[in-house]
Amino acid sequence: MSIFSPLTGLLRSALGVAEHGEAEAVEHSPLSTTAAAERDLDQLAHALHRAAESADRHVELLDRVAASLPALIAQLSELTGGVNAMNANATALNRQLEALVTELVPLAGAERDVSRVERLFRRRRRKEAPRAGEAQPE
């Protein structure tokens, strides 16, 4: 310990209290409040600027969407016309098939009757005929 130790301790203590008091004074002074309000306003201005830029990007995007709508509507109308034509063709084909089925019903009955008559007159073979390329037994 030196001769100046108690003195330096007192000085350090006084400086610490003075610094602490100064910090409290600055904190509670109108200048500190004004600086804090200025920081808050600056942050608010930056936030508003970012929001305005975002809104501008959204408006540009919506403009591009609106510009593409007429072409999309034209393609959709063309597609709808094609689907309507396909539907009309399918309806006509359905009518033709119904008429064909109506015409084929009697033919199916006649085919069934012919099959029955063939069974009546069918001969039964006692021995099978030899196959081509096989020798006949003697």
Judged against a pLDDT cut of 90, whether residue 99 lies above it is answered with yes
The pLDDT score that the predictor gives to residue 135 is: 59
SS (H, E, C) the chain: CCCCHHHHHHHHHHHHHHHHHHHHHHHHCHHHHHHHHHHHHHHHHHHHHHHHHHHHHHHHHHHHHHHHHHHHHHHHHHHHHHHHHHHHHHHHHHHHHHHHHHHHHHHHHHHHHHHHHHHHHCCCCCCCCCCCCCCCCC
The pLDDT score that the predictor gives to residue 104 is: 87
> What is the average pLDDT across 99-116?
86
Q: Domain map of the chain by residue range?
A: 7-120
pLDDT digit string (tens) for 72-86? Answer: 999 999 999 999 999
pLDDT digit string (tens) for 17-74? Answer: 656 666 666 566 666 678 788 889 999 999 999 999 999 999 999 999 999 999 999 9
The pLDDT score that the predictor gives to residue 113 is: 83
Q: Using 50, 70 and 90 to split pLDDT, how confident is the model at 10?
A: low
pTM for this structure? Answer: 0.41
Judged against a pLDDT cut of 70, whether residue 110 lies above it is answered with yes
